[in-house]
Amino acid sequence: MDPQEDAGVQGADVAAPDHASFQDAKQAVGRWIKRFGFWAGTTLWAVASVLSFLVHYHVLPDHWKVVPDQELPALALVIGLMFILSEQVKEYKDKADKSAEMVQKRVTLLDRDIRNLLTELAPQFALLQCVARLQQAFHTIPHGDLLSIRHLGLDMQTAWLYVHDKLFEVERKTQRMKIHYRLLMIVGDYAKLGNVSPELQDEMKQMCEGSRASLQNIKNYFERGAQALNHVDIEIRTYASLPVVHGIHADKPTPVHYVALCGWRGSEHSYYHWGEGHYHEIHGLPQSDTSASDMLDLFDGYFEHLWSIGEIAYRNHPDTSAPPRVARADGDRKKHR
């Protein structure tokens, strides 16, 4: 760069803050005039009128005179009109504020109604659709980012096929991002379930057997691909209770939940519906007074409760709460004790 140009650029850099400060000052003065100019002008006019009247009636000496005597009546009239208009303006402003408040309340109610309508009209998904939508969203996550997934499953017979094909097999080949995968699934030992309704005993026995087989398949998959899947931290815990909610939560690229509810259905509530085909998609954090918020709280609370009391069934790394090198160092310290 030419030295003269360099000096000119430096001079511009030095002068720029002063120019910006001057513009800010002008804007501040303008705002002050718009807000207080009327009242400042009225006050000065009133002071001038009072002084002129006091001089006119010889209360003050003549050098205090501000307005000629012949203009005093007009001045008094103008001041009176200004005060009358100011009161009317205040009255109109109060009415406008009340109208704006009413409009805001109506807009809030309308917004709430629209949100409730959208919740009612929102489509419900099958599990395969949920995983496919997650897979599509995961493609937008930057390379090297950490993706956290919480999966509250049932026996994982079908769910593992989808997650295996559309998430872990893709990541095994591309290794685009780090994954922290926490999975809850039904315990494989039916005897640990305790009291089960007679109508569900056979079905729950089959589900426990399926869960036991799925757990072994998942273990085998991660043990065979340990090197290719080293960037994935997986921890599996089991729970011993009748499922009431299940689904998946992913924190990236934006937080999203897919939640399905279980429960007794039918005209006489005679059969237990497992929620398949009825997954609700919930993005971000919905408003606290909506049904979507209640559903999200149900899933999060149920998952964290079961996770805290669940039995650890598998970890591919010593501790998924810390990076592998930290966990290994901690293991080395225990060996030397």
Given a cut of 80, whether residue 138 has pLDDT beyond it is yes
Judged against a pLDDT cut of 60, whether residue 238 lies above it is answered with yes
Tell me the pLDDT of the chain averaged across its residues. Answer: 80
**pLDDT band, residue 184 (cuts 50/70/90):** very high
**What mean pLDDT is predicted for residues 64-78?**
64
pLDDT at 161 over 90: yes
As a CATH number, domain 127-335 is: 3.30.870
pTM, two decimals, is 0.61
Q: Count the alpha carbons within 13 Å of 210 in the hemisphere toward its beta carbon.
A: 17
So where are the chain's domains?
3-118, 127-335
pLDDT value at position 171?
Answer: 86
Categorize the per-residue pLDDT at 333 as very low, low, confident or very high, splitting at 50, 70 and 90. Answer: very low
Confidence band, pLDDT 50/70/90 cuts, at residue 91: confident
* pLDDT the model gives residue 299: 96
Q: What is the mean pLDDT of residues 209-226?
A: 94
